[in-house]
Amino acid sequence: MKEALKMPLRFAVLALIFMGVAALSNRPLYRSLPEGTGMLTLSFSHGADRRAACRKATPEELAKLPPNMRRPEICPRDRPPIRVEFDIDGKRMFEAEVPPSGIASDGPSRVHQRFVLPAGEYEIAVRMSERPDGDFTWHEERTIRIDPSNSRVIDFRANAGGFVFH
């Protein structure tokens, strides 16, 4: 008879434990962003133009090479760094010269910066130089809206015309 009473009691204890775990599964409440704010992320990967660092080979350099290796231009394998400037409402928020990745410095440069901002509209200006002369070859200015608890991303795609706002 005692065994018959133990089974429902065990079930009740297990049911209470599971109900307690379920009730506490939403506690404490977690917010990844402070209330009334949103996130703007500047994140992209881009390889600078290698051809910008090419130079004409001298006749002496060409003479030292076998005939099948003689090319009129000498282009180094590594890429130059990119230079990025990012402004929000006319204030410089991020500025960097980003070196290329990879052991031989021949990979893309990577940028990833997050900005937590109060909800509202912002004037955004982003510029990138991929050539050693420092002139900004890519630039975009736009007004964007950041909603509370939302995340916006600025990406770069050369084949899509430059900076892309998501």
Mean pLDDT of the chain: 88
The answer to whether position 13 is within a domain reads no
Q: What is the extent of the structural domain holding 98? A: 37-49+80-165
- Could you report the per-residue pLDDT of 110-156, keeping only the tens digit for each? 999 999 999 999 999 999 998 777 788 899 999 999 999 899 999 99
The answer to whether position 63 is within a domain reads no
The answer to whether position 14 is within a domain reads no
The answer to whether position 67 is within a domain reads no
39 — pLDDT class (breaks 50, 70, 90): very high
- Could you report the per-residue pLDDT of 75-119, keeping only the tens digit for each? 877 888 999 999 999 999 999 999 999 888 888 999 999 999 999
Element (H, E) at 74: strand 73-74
How far apart CA 15 and CA 10 sit, in angstroms, is 9
Q: What is the pLDDT of residue 101?
A: 92
The answer to whether position 62 is within a domain reads no
How far apart CA 38 and CA 122 sit, in angstroms, is 12
The conformation of residue 9, written as its DSSP 8-state character, comes to: H
Residue 34 three-state SS: coil
2 — pLDDT class (breaks 50, 70, 90): low
CATH number at residue 99: 2.60.40
Which percentage of the chain shows pLDDT scores above 90? 46
The answer to whether position 151 is within a domain reads yes
Counts of helices then strands in the chain (DSSP H, E)? 2, 10
Our count of domains for the chain comes to 1
The answer to whether position 160 is within a domain reads yes
Strand order through the sheet with 91-98: 91-98, 82-88, 120-129, 138-146
The answer to whether position 69 is within a domain reads no
Residue 65 φ then ψ, to 5°: -95, 150
Cα 27 to Cα 4, 18, 33: the distances in Å are: 37, 15, 17
Parallel, antiparallel, or unpaired: how do β-strands 91-98 and 82-88 relate?
antiparallel
